[in-house]
Amino acid sequence: MVDVSNRSRVPAGRKEGGRFAAEANAMTDDVSDIPGSGEYDATGVRHFAYRSEAVEAALQSDSPCYLTASGDGFDLAADPTEYRDPIYVPYDQDGNLVTEEIDFGGRPHDGWIVDPDEGTDGDMRPVRDFLDGKADSLTIRREATDSVIWGDDEGEDETLDGETIILASNRPPETAIRESFKDRVNGFDRFEAEKAVHDRNATKAELHWAAENASIDVAGRLAVSANAARLDPEESDRLLERVLRTDREAAGLAVQQLNLPESSKLYLAESPDPALRAAVAKRRDLPKEAEALLMRDPDDLVRAALVPHLGALDMRRLKDDPSPLIREEVARHRLTSFDALSELSHDPNRHVRVVVANNPRTPKADLARLANDGDENISVRLRALTNESTPREAIESVTDRKLATARAYALAAKDRGIHYGDAILSLKREDLKPYLSEPSAQSSEPGDGRF
């Protein structure tokens, strides 16, 4: 570190500062070369063991810095304040600095130095007091300056670029500045955090900052985004705690998205809140113990949330479950056997039969029966009629006037090799005429195909 007398000083091993050994080498050009310099942590703070190391890093920083004693060491935080007009540093015709004419533009300071690399004019008493342990805080600002060379009686003043001035104070920064430390780390700020939340190319450091330090509105969006799975388990756990405290509605989706540790999944499976149990039940990576707990859950909605991730053997057992919610999920499951679907097509609950009629894996004979059963609920018949797996002859045999338009769309879709939904979107009424037995059959009942 170069002091105001242009002497290079390094720590001699005393953490309290004020004891330095002489060294002839000049100041290092890179902060990373300073012995003991640390990386910024999640709150934008670097930690140093010695006062001189922290001061040297601050003097080399382009951003305003705040140093303070912290435990056995010293913390350095960068202050990301906005650009301000440069300070004017006046020189006379002989090149001598006219110190009494420097206009600091209202910048608060207790001491200052111009061109610290050369050790020129100024008084850096606040730095000395910090180094000698007389003060435990130090604010340093490296300011852009313009040098003004005063002209003589006949010449005009000349303004040159390239001077540097550093202001120093042992007074702590204002509360607003201290709070701003939390909004920036390694050049990464809140605005960039908001962009990173949904950016699949965001770095781990950006996501870490957003999870740990961004305001809850930003962190909450991260918790329910696709990037949530990229967080470390410990980060995910802490982020979920924040979301649970502030946004219970978003917590359910966060439980499904975050890369949670196994212990947290088990904890959520035992939660007294059924909404959280249902949310964790939707995960595909549950530990066996958590899955077993959820399968015995007294809440049908929780167990129903678990069913989509179970296997074929579970479907055989659950098709006879007393809860219609569970049987609906079984009827919807891709691994449910044909025999089980055929059995469920006779289920006493019409909502279960609607799901069966909508499943393209349901046996064709059952779909034909459901579509043509005059005693069947109209919603069940409509789903069976429009199922892509229902045979054409079964669709043709439907004569119910309430289903005439749906029948026409279904037949037109078959002939064109498209899905029923695509037929509704693309076909005009004239395209349906060949499939309508008479114009009066075009009703506006639920069976008109637009459900």
pLDDT one-digit tens code per residue, 175-194: 655 555 555 544 455 566 77
Over residues 22-33, mean pLDDT = 38
pLDDT (0 to 100) of residue 34 = 37
Q: What is the pLDDT of residues 236-267, one digit of tens each?
A: 999 998 888 887 778 899 999 999 999 999 99
Q: What is the mean pLDDT of residues 123-146?
A: 85
Quickly state the pLDDT bin for 320 (edges 50, 70, 90).
Answer: very high
**pLDDT surpassing 80 at residue 229:** yes
Q: Which residues pair with 164 in a beta bridge?
A: 144
pLDDT of residue 7: 37
Q: What pLDDT score was predicted for residue 52?
A: 87
DSSP string for 68-91: EEETTEEEEEE--PPP-PPEEEEE
What is the model's pLDDT at position 73? 82
Q: Residue 259 — φ and ψ, nearest 5°?
A: -85, 75
What's the mean pLDDT in 64-72?
81
pTM of the complete model beyond 0.75: no
Q: How many CB atoms lie within 10 A of CB 103?
A: 11
| pLDDT, mean over the chain | 79
- 135-144, 249-258, 354-363: least confident range: 135-144
Q: What's the pLDDT at 187?
A: 47
Measured in degrees and rounded to the nearest 5, phi and psi for residue 192 equal: -70, -30
Instruction: Output DSSP code: residue 214.
Output: S
Of 76 and 416, the one with more pLDDT: 416
Alpha helices in 350-403 (DSSP H): 350-358, 364-372, 378-385, 392-396
Q: pLDDT class for 116, splitting at 50, 70, 90? A: low
Q: What local confidence, expressed as pLDDT, does residue 295 receive? A: 94
DSSP state of 28: P
List, in sequence order, every residue forming a beta bridge with 159; answer none if it has no partner. Answer: 148
CA angle in degrees (0–180, nearest 5) for 276-303-282: 55
Which pLDDT score, from 0 to 100, does residue 133 have? 87
- What does the block give as tokens for 173? 């920064």
At 61, phi and psi to the nearest 5? Answer: -80, 145
The pair of structure tokens assigned to 380 is 């069940």
Q: Taking 60 as the threshold, does the pLDDT of residue 95 lie above it?
A: yes
| Average pLDDT of the residues in 282-309 | 95
pLDDT: which is higher, 37 or 313: 313
Asked whether residue 333 carries a pLDDT value surpassing 90, the answer given is yes
Length of the chain (residues): 451
Please choose, from the candidates 30, 80, 91, the residue with its C-alpha nearest in 3D space to the C-alpha of residue 56: 30
Helices 262-269 & 288-295 angle (0-180, nearest 10) = 10
